[in-house]
Amino acid sequence: MKRNYLLVFPIIIVTLSIITVFSLSGCAVGSSGAADTTTAVTTVSTTAPKTVATTAPSTVASTTETTAFNALQAFNSEVNALVDKITPSVVSIDVVINNSSTNAQNAQGVGSGIIYKEDGYIITNNHVAGDANKITVTLFDGSRHEGTLVGADANTDIAVVKITDTNLIAAKFVSEDTQKVGDFVLAVGSPFGVQQTITNGIISGMDRNVPMSANTLPFVDLIQTDAPINPGNSGGPLVNINGEVIGMNSLGLSTSGSSSGIGFAIPSNTVTAIADEIIKYGSAQLPSMGVSIGDNTSNILGTLLSAVTPGGPADKAGLKAGDIITEFNSEKILNPYDLLGNIIQRQIGDTVAGKYYREGNYSDFSVTLEKRPNNTSTING
């Protein structure tokens, strides 16, 4: 029987960039001293020319080659250490999606995942496992385990899967705020089902925003990388030079279906915040300010509130329609994506300070976030 194969995620294959360091050595050249004469004596005293030390061209070339080789060897050793550290925490995820409501055959897909907790919790993308009827997790040692979907969130594209195996090697997650554009990164996953594939690149950009559909929130604060994103890499980690997870590979832009060198990872702050909620509640508990966002055409940088929900968090904080949020949680707000990204990374019940502009004046506010209504999937906060 033919099966339809659903390659779930474009992600990261990178060509290893090698930096060769050359050391140039020079030779000091001595010069003859000037004649030392005296007017009282007819004898002239001279200084013999100094001997010039030279190095044979072959010796210089040999030294340069040795230095370059040592640099490459050191680079390889560092990359090997990163790979050894992260690969035991990366899994391959095979899914089956039943199409019982249609006449279509069941679809199969492959993606990746990151071990989050030693007792079997694994983070992956919603588009990998969110609609799966059967989940099979393959660990680093090749062992296969049946997985159970704990919960998934389409708005952030994050899902959590649980297996019964324990004593797993959990990856270390760190804030993406520690990274800068140009930093070296590794990506690990199963592109096209090829398990434990290691690729590399750099961080090409930070705080990227990608609108997805009318039914979900836009993806915000994404990490952009030039590491190729191919189907099957979805859910795998983006790793810094310390072997720490700074994001989860999720999306690639392409006009052909293959990688075009523009890939995106969900930042680790968002990944862990949503995963913790799913593990605790079974679903993402996205917070909200209770506002609608409008088009800010003024010369004041910030996010315009077009409406404030009566009795909602913003209303209780004294905010009104027409206010422009200029700062939130000590961070400058330049557009609606900045505000939304900051809210998503908070918890329900968090009280956050900010600043707003109204009728020529800047003022402070303090808002306590509440749960976002389940039917709210717009950029509104």
CA-CA distance, 343 to 368, in Å (whole number)? Answer: 11
Phi/psi for 84 (5° steps) reads -60, -30
127 is catalytic: yes
CA-CA distance, 95 to 110, in Å (whole number)? Answer: 6
Which of the residues 94, 153, 157, 226 is marked catalytic?
157
Which of the residues 89, 112, 127, 288 is marked catalytic?
127
Task: Please give the DSSP secondary-structure letter assigned to residue 278.
Answer: H
- Between the two ends of the chain, the Cα-to-Cα distance in Å is 48
84 is catalytic: no
Q: How many CA atoms lie within 13 A of 294 on its CB side?
A: 14
Which of the residues 112, 234, 250, 268 is marked catalytic?
234
Residue 261: how many other CB atoms lie within 10 Å: 15
The first and second tokens of residue 314, run together, are: 């913003």
3-state secondary structure of 116: coil
145 is catalytic: no
One-letter-per-residue 3-state SS of 204-254: EEEEEEECCCCCCCCEEEEEEECCCCCCCCCCCEEECCCCCEEEEEEEECC
CA-CA distance, 310 to 205, in Å (whole number)? Answer: 38
CA-CA distance, 101 to 257, in Å (whole number)? Answer: 28
**Which residues are designated catalytic?**
127, 157, 234
